[in-house]
Amino acid sequence: MNPPDFEAVLQHHFGFPSFRPGQRELVEAAVEGRDALGILPTGGGKSLCYQVPALLLPGLTVVVSPLISLMADQLRRAQEIGMAAAALHSGLSRAQRRKVEDAAVAGELRVLLLAPERLDSPGFRPLLKRLRVSLLVVDEAHCISCWGHDFRPSYRKLGEVRRRLDVPVLALTATATPRVRREIEAILGMREPYRQIGSFDRSNLLWAVRSATGERERNDHLYHLVSSFQGARLIYAATRRRVERIRSAMARRGQPAHAYHAGLPGDERDRVQEYFLTDRRPLVVATNAFGMGIDRSDVRLVAHDQLSGSLEDYYQEAGRGGRDGEPALCVALHGPVDGRIHRSFLDRTHPPVRSPTTALRLWRKGDLAHRWSRRRAEKVKLRAVSRYARTRRCRRRTILNWFGQGLSRGQCSGCDRCQGWRGVLIAAGSG
């Protein structure tokens, strides 16, 4: 039997003349039945790596995805090319879920999108046995590791699910350090996997950090930045309250902005997403709830009111700039007390164990070591963020080193430490 013509499938169904770097190798591994790990940068086309195999494999491709919003975007992309795809999630009625389940059992679907919690739930296990699964895809695979950002305990159970299915697994993510990659492979029980580790060095992104203390100084910086750039502009803030305050400050100075955070009604969030995708020069101020599935290529500015809690989060959020390959400025404001809010988040989500009674209870449940490891991992990431903000060395190199890479071109293609603040502004085409 002749091997599939992957390029012909790509051109016929997707309209692309060729694969992006790393895509074809991952597609080929999946079709050949090999386990594979793909680390492709934000905007690198991860969905295509399972959509092409789904068209070629005889059975169902099951895709594990962590967010309903992300599932909706993946489902839309699959249906746009005429692929028989569906999603099962908590937003569906019982009748809608039953319809999807019946279609999956009948072999009418090529792709089924699921949250990890549903895949391992006792109610879903009998249905899983009735499905003819050819490939298990773990999207946002960094969620498996307690050392990765957006850790999801339910992801750690996917190794057992994979063993029950006994099918090849394709793990995909945009951000994973070498340590996280090793944990992904171990938990999923990957057998001699093919590894495609894309470069994290996107030369068109220009990295900078600006010193700012009080709210007025931060707002001044942000106003001057958004006034200087054409195309789409995006400001990230750590809290909903700060999002609203920045939005109001921009509007008062003649820069109308739209706010996006989890506290807004769903229809308002949908409206802001549509505005961001269709307006000629949109300005959105958002928490990290914004961005998953938002694919606009001409984002020229990604500004952070303060740095994220990890370099993984920061790289992923900043990486939404410049997907068209043109220059984009990724700038973060930083002040002496910026780490305080992330430390408070850490204390709320992973509080220190100070009471001997609590420690004993956690030890008996087998949770003490996990609680300690998770808190330690978050503190390590916070220290890495602080080093990035304060470094006097190349910022691009600092980020790449965190992901286990060096400069691909031997020298920095743009950061404020190497070119100066004025230099990156000129390179970014501000004004």
- Residue spans of the domains in the chain: they are 6-197, 205-340+375-428
- Report the distance separating Cα 225 and Cα 249, nearest Å: 13
Q: What is the reported pLDDT for 356?
A: 53
Could you identify the residue written with the tokens 């992973």? 350
Q: Is the pLDDT of residue 253 over 90?
A: yes
The yes-or-no verdict on residue 284 having pLDDT over 80 is: yes
> pLDDT-based confidence at 345, cuts 50/70/90?
low
Does residue 420 carry a pLDDT above 70? Answer: yes
Residue 297 has pLDDT above 80, yes or no: yes
- Is 299 within 8 Å of 328 (Cβ atoms)? yes
Mean pLDDT across the stretch 261-285? 93
Separation CA 9–CA 63 (nearest Å): 20
pLDDT value of position 287 = 93
Q: Mean of the pLDDT values across residues 208-212?
A: 96
pLDDT, residue 90, reads: 83
Percent of the chain with pLDDT over 90: 60
pLDDT band at 106 (very low <50, low <70, confident <90, very high): very high
Inform me whether the pLDDT recorded for 49 exceeds 90.
Answer: yes
> Residue 205: which pLDDT band, with cuts at 50, 70 and 90?
very high
The backbone torsions φ and ψ at residue 261, rounded to the nearest 5 degrees and listed phi first, read -160, 170
Give CATH superfamily name and number for 6-197.
P-loop containing nucleotide triphosphate hydrolases (3.40.50.300)
Burial 215-234, CB ≥16 within 10 A → b, else e: eeebbebbbebbebbebbbb
Tokens found for residue 274: 């549509």
What tokens were used for 403? 């992901």
H-assigned helices in 13-124: 23-31, 48-56, 68-80, 94-105, 116-119
Amino acid at 161: V
Confidence of residue 373 (pLDDT cuts 50, 70, 90): confident
Q: Which of 104-113, 403-412, 414-423 has the lowest mean pLDDT?
A: 403-412
- DSSP designation for 11: I
Tens digits of residue pLDDT in 111-130: 999 998 888 788 888 998 89
Identity (one letter) of the amino acid at 422?
R
Give the model confidence (pLDDT) of 391-411 as tens digits: 999 999 999 999 988 886 678
Is 205-340+375-428 in the same CATH topology as 6-197? Answer: yes
- The CATH architecture of the domain made up of 205-340+375-428 is 3-Layer(aba) Sandwich (3.40)
In this prediction, residue 121 carries a pLDDT of 83
Is residue 362's pLDDT more than 50? no
Total H helices, total E strands in the chain: 18, 13
Please answer whether residues 294 and 273 qualify as being in contact, where contact means their C-beta atoms are separated by less than 8 angstroms.
Answer: yes
pLDDT score recorded for residue 43 = 66
Say what the pTM is: 0.81
Which one has a higher pLDDT value, 215 or 373?
Answer: 215
- Left, alpha or beta for 44 (phi > 0: left; psi -120 to 50: alpha)? alpha
Section 258-267 average pLDDT:
92
**50 alpha carbon, distance to own chain's centre:** 17
pLDDT at 335 over 80: yes
Residue 367: what pLDDT? 53
Burial (CB count <10 Å: 0-12, 13-18, 19+), residue 175: buried
At 150, give phi and psi (nearest 5°): 60, 40
Question: So what's the pLDDT on residue 168?
Answer: 96
Residue 353 has pLDDT above 60, yes or no: no
Is the model's pLDDT at 359 over the cut of 50?
no
User: Is the per-residue pLDDT at 357 higher than 60?
Assistant: no
- How confident is the model at residue 378, as a pLDDT? 83
Q: Identify whether the C-beta of residue 377 lies closer than 8 Å to the C-beta of residue 147.
A: yes
* Mean pLDDT score, 33-42: 90
String of DSSP letters for 268-319 = HHHHHHHHHHHSSS-EEEE-TTS-TT---TTEEEEEESS--SSHHHHHHHHT
Cα distances (angstroms) measured from residue 308 to each of 237, 304, 400: 9, 8, 16
Question: Would you state the pLDDT for residue 77?
Answer: 86
pLDDT in tens, 299-332: 999 999 999 989 998 998 999 999 899 999 999 9
Rg over CA atoms, the chain: 22
Q: Count of residues for the chain?
A: 431
d(CA 107, CA 87): 15
CA 113 from centroid of its chain's CA atoms: 17
pLDDT of residue 364: 46
Whole-number pLDDT of residue 295:
75
Alpha-helical (H) ranges within 166-291 are 178-187, 215-227, 240-252, 266-278
Give the mean pLDDT of 1-14: 85
Is the model's pLDDT at 193 over the cut of 70?
yes
At residue 428, φ and ψ (nearest 5 deg) are -80, -10
Which residues fall within 8 angstroms of residue 306, CB to CB, at 6 or more apart?
237, 238, 332, 333, 334, 335, 338, 341
- How sure is the predictor about 355, in pLDDT bands with cuts at 50, 70 and 90? very low
Mean pLDDT (whole number) for 190-196 = 95
Taking all residues of the chain, what is their mean pLDDT, rounded to a whole number? 88
Sign, Cα dihedral of 413, 37, 133, 13? positive
Q: Which of 142-151, 192-201, 340-349, 374-383 has the lowest mean pLDDT?
A: 340-349
CB of 125 closer than 8 Å to CB of 87: no
Cβ atoms within 10 Å of 27's Cβ, excluding its own: 26
- Evaluated on CA atoms 167, 171, 177, 180, the torsion sign reads negative
